[in-house]
Amino acid sequence: MGKPTVFVTRRWPQSVEAKLKTHFNVVLNAEDKALAPSTLKMALAQSDALLPTVTDRICASVLDVVKPRTQIIANYGVGFNHVDIDAARRHGMIVTNTPDVLSQCTADLAMTLMLMVARRAGEGERELRSGTWDGWRPTHLMGQKISGKILGVVGFGRIGRETAHRAHFGFGMKICVYNRSKVDPSVLARFNATQVDDLDDLLTQSDVVSLHCPGGQSNRHLINAERLSKMKSSAYLINTARGEVVDEDALAQALWFETIAGAGLDVFDGEPTIRPALMNCENAVLLPHLGSATRETREAMGFRVIDNLVAFFDGCEPADRVA
């Protein structure tokens, strides 16, 4: 039997593409632009595996191919809310993701956003680059201290825990956790964390709220106008999870009227299009989905996809099967 054909929807780090080619016939997207649904359908009809990213909407209508050749959708990324899992199952395809390898870097970015927004780093950089900084003064761009404050972590999976670790051991923050299921007390004890059963309890007491739950329908607008109104006026919201978890119109209102102090966002509903209302908020730090964007992590994500594919085509269960 010849090598399986795998269709890669975006360019990957060179070393990963090279390794991929040693195992498979690889079809690359030379232009590295997000693909049209018709191209994704063609890929499903002609390739043994589809290797998508967050920029590909693998919805029911894309998966509805008369004779799909694809048996495995091996996602490059931990979040897979852009893949319709039920539809993939119906078409007899399995789905894998890339957990673990991006937890540390995504947590680092949550800390980056937390510090940038609380210390007004984005505002300061914009001021300096625009040539309007007129020198040091005691009241210039005063922000808030992060050390010793209360961090509310929403979703206590791998990335939430890595963020808690950095915040607690690096910045002496007290950790409050909200999670769908009960977290093992020994895990909470590692960070001296407390778990609350009601999200509102976390929102009312936290100085920083950091989102680490999955996207998808069940968490859509988890943070809405009502929930934002529970936050302290001095508090910050950090989102490195998925844009849809936050009602961004409500968030823009809260930022504009300063009912919360600021937000640090790495992900957006409908990205890469950003709501003008958010763009206009000086108290928001906005990054272009950089959570896992280090060479080490992006390579590790690719190698993890390869491990899943090799296992699958060898007739074994891939380690990171999610459906």
Within 102-161, which residues bind ligand 8YV (CB under 6 A)?
Answer: 102, 106
99 versus 152: smaller Cβ distance to ligand 8YV: 99
| 292 near ligand 8YV, judged by CB under 6 A | yes
- The angle subtended at Cα 98 by Cα 159 and Cα 24, nearest 5°, is 165
Taking the complex as a whole, how short is the minimal distance between the CB of residue 77 and ligand 8YV, in angstroms? Answer: 3
111 versus 261: smaller Cβ distance to ligand 8YV: 111
Is 31 an annotated catalytic residue? no
Q: Which residue is nearest to ligand 8YV (CB)?
A: 77
| 264 near ligand 8YV, judged by CB under 6 A | no
| 4 near ligand 8YV, judged by CB under 6 A | no
State the binding string over 27-56 for ligand 8YV (x if CB under 6 A, else -): --------------------------xx--
Which of these segments, 13-21, 70-78, 220-228, 270-278, binds ligand 8YV (CB under 6 A)? 70-78
Taking the complex as a whole, how short is the minimal distance between the CB of residue 322 and ligand 8YV, in angstroms? Answer: 12
Q: Which of 10, 242, 298, 304 is catalytic?
A: 242
Is 275 an annotated catalytic residue? no
Contacts with ligand 8YV: how many residues (CB under 6 A)? Answer: 10
Rounded CA separation 279/168 (Å): 31
212 versus 227: smaller Cβ distance to ligand 8YV: 212
Query: 3-state SS string over the chain?
Result: CCCCEEEECCCCCHHHHHHHHHHCEEECCCCCCCCCHHHHHHHHHHCCEEECCCCCCECHHHHCCCCCCCCEEECCCCCCCCECHHHHHHCCCEEECCCCCCHHHHHHHHHHHHHHHHCCHHHHHHHHHCCCCCCCCCCCCCCCCCCCCEEEEECCCHHHHHHHHHHHHHHCCEEEEECCCCCCHHHHHHCCCEEECCHHHHHHHCCEEEECCCCCHHHCCCECHHHHHHCCCCCEEEECCCHHHECHHHHHHHHHCCCCCEEEECCCCCCCCCCHHHHCCCCEEECCCCCCCCHHHHHHHHHHHHHHHHHHHCCCCCCCECC
Is 57 an annotated catalytic residue? no
Q: Which residues sit opposite 8 in a β-bridge? A: 51
Q: Which of 123, 127, 271, 299 is catalytic?
A: 271
Cα 157–chain centre separation: 13
Which of these segments, 17-25, 72-80, 205-213, 255-263, binds ligand 8YV (CB under 6 A)? 72-80
Q: Which of 161, 212, 289, 304 is catalytic?
A: 289
Please pick, from the candidates 12, 43, 63, 79, the single residue that binds ligand 8YV as defined by CB under 6 A. Answer: 79
Please pick, from the candidates 7, 12, 24, 76, the single residue that binds ligand 8YV as defined by CB under 6 A. Answer: 76
Q: Which residues are catalytically annotated?
A: 242, 271, 289
Name the residues that contact ligand 8YV, by CB under 6 A: 53-54, 76-79, 102, 106, 291-292
